[in-house]
Amino acid sequence: MSDSATTPAPDGSGPAQLPDPARPIAAGYAFTGPALDLGALLWEGVCHPDAQVRVPLPMLNRHGLVAGATGTGKTKTLQLIAEQLSAQGVPVFLADVKGDLSGIARPGQGGDRVSTRAAETGQSWSAEGFPVEFLALGGIGHGIPVRATVTSFGPVLLSKVLGLNRTQEQSLGLIFHYADTKGLELIDLKDLRAVVAFLTSDEGRPELKGIGGLSTATAGVILRSLTAFEAQGMADFFGEPEFDTADLLRLAPDGRGLVSVLELPAVQDKPQLFSTFLMWLLADLFHDLPEAGDADKPKLVFFFDEAHLLFHDASDAFLDAITQTVRLIRSRGVGVFFVTQTPKDVPSDVLGQLGNRVQHALRAFTPDDQKALKATVKTFPDSPYDLEELLTGLGTGEAVITVLSENGAPTPVAATRLRAPESLMGPVDPAELDRAVRDSPLYGRYAQAVDRESAYEKLTAAQAQRPAEAPKAKREKAPAEDPSLVEQVVGSGMFKSLARSVGTQLGREITRSLFGTARRGR
């Protein structure tokens, strides 16, 4: 930027020259390729619309963090970024915990505040809605039902949802291993409960010795946890038809990226459940997407809201799996943005992989707040700003930003006044949401739950046959060792139908990921 670079003064009285210390910062965001426009540079309280703060589109798969205290504008930042990604043909996934993001489907409403913000940031604002698919966990709330089979969800994520300890998690893994190798397909929770109940019964207890010495006491704990989980109304989240995460990668007919909004207000009182389900979606994407290498733009940008819930009370193995998934999914063309209050909510191994940072204001009312503030400042590159003072003085819709430049190097830290979203900044009417859901091309595929024959039905049918076979067994000479119930089930003719079951591989173990999630046939 030349020495004569100027910008309007905040009072409108005339131009304000970009100060010398701010020029290297502005130069750090002068990208030549496609980029998202986040806002205008702030220096000493003055907004400079000629100094645009941007993030290169190809760098969006290098992950990021959107952080800040409640009420500082994080949701509007997500909306702003999602709009521009969609406009450039990149699909987006958003978790809408409070119900504020559904308005992205409708054009925004202008007014004095929007006009002022647009003038301050050099934005040519126009009202515009974007193509949106509304989703809902288990169909609870307004959205296309998102379900997972228990087999696909896997033992690691399910253990976190059930609140199991490390030993119990390992035991649940053995139960899944047993079901996988025996072809006992776990579609919903009653299938898993049936397998656990069988393994703790007189007929099934010998099977425990063959799968690593699973104790009946631990199996009992798992069974009680499942029963309590179902009693809380959680069964709807597991079953078929299972959501295909490839549906998150679609484009609208006009070439814009589809914005998939997972509506969570109806389940916001179940944070462990929805945060773990988000991880399942991400892990499933990682399984299915091929290596993409460096691309002009991401295949998908995934915003992981309320990220601190995922990491809370997580085991070391769970954190290692998150770290490795985040590290590797970039090569599949997926960018992940964690959304939370402070960077300290994210483990350092994960935080170190987040190349793009949007830090809204922090509060410093308590000693813990002060400690979090100092820790946050240390995560930023050296800067001419006094970041401790700046981060506590930012207004709503302002943030401290650093991103990866086109050559992959961090940009200078830039205090930024963010642009205004062009879509509606607020929720749409629930009746309108329901109409959008019914009109979706996905409605016919996912709306109606299906309960087909699986482990529960197979074990129940085998148990019903057993008394009729018992008298004949008494008349014959007893063999050296009676086959167990599951061995009888596996050998029965009706069990062979499992070979045709989607997602199950009879007679060999299902391939599982770092999280124990299962690869499914597409």
Is residue 10 predicted with pLDDT exceeding 50? no
Whether the per-residue pLDDT at 149 is higher than 90: the answer is yes
Q: Supply the pLDDT for residue 467.
A: 61
Out of 36-50, 275-289, 470-484, least confident range:
470-484
- Residues 332-344, mean pLDDT to the nearest whole number: 93
Residue 279, pLDDT > 70, answer yes
Nearest by Cα to 450 from 197, 143, 149: 149
Residue 170 Cα distances to 46, 199, 222, 395, 409, angstroms = 57, 16, 11, 47, 41
What digits encode the pLDDT tens for the residues 443-487?
A: 999 999 988 888 878 888 877 776 655 555 444 444 444 444 444
452, 157 Cβ separation under 8 angstroms = no
The pLDDT score that the predictor gives to residue 9 is 47
- Domains of the chain, with CATH numbers? 26-147+244-447 (3.40.50.300), 148-239 (no CATH)
Give the residue-averaged pLDDT of 282-287.
90
What pLDDT was estimated at residue 402?
97
pLDDT at residue 453, as a whole number: 80
Question: Under a CB-based contact definition with an 8 Å cutoff, are residues 361 and 415 in contact?
Answer: no
Q: Given a cut of 80, is residue 147 above it in pLDDT?
A: yes
Is residue 111 very low, low, confident or very high in pLDDT (cuts 50, 70, 90)? very high
Q: What is the pLDDT of residue 400?
A: 97
Lowest mean pLDDT among 89-103, 308-322, 344-358: 308-322
Q: How far apart are CA 146 and CA 156, in angstroms?
A: 19
Report pLDDT digits (tens) over 64-83: 999 999 899 999 999 999 99
Q: Which residue has the higher pLDDT, 207 or 371?
A: 371
- φ and ψ at residue 240, rounded to 5 degrees: -125, 155
Average pLDDT over residues 117-140: 95
Question: Residue 450: CB partners within 8 Å, gap ≥ 6?
Answer: 239, 240, 241
CA distance 201 to 198: 5
Contact 360, 382 (CB under 8 A): no
Task: Say if residue 240's pLDDT is above 90.
Answer: yes
* Mean pLDDT calculated for residue range 493-502: 34
pTM: 0.86
Phi/psi at 482 (5° precision): -70, 140
Tokens for 249? 């990668």
Residue 4: is its pLDDT beyond 60? no
pLDDT at 458: 81
The per-residue pLDDT for 454 is 82
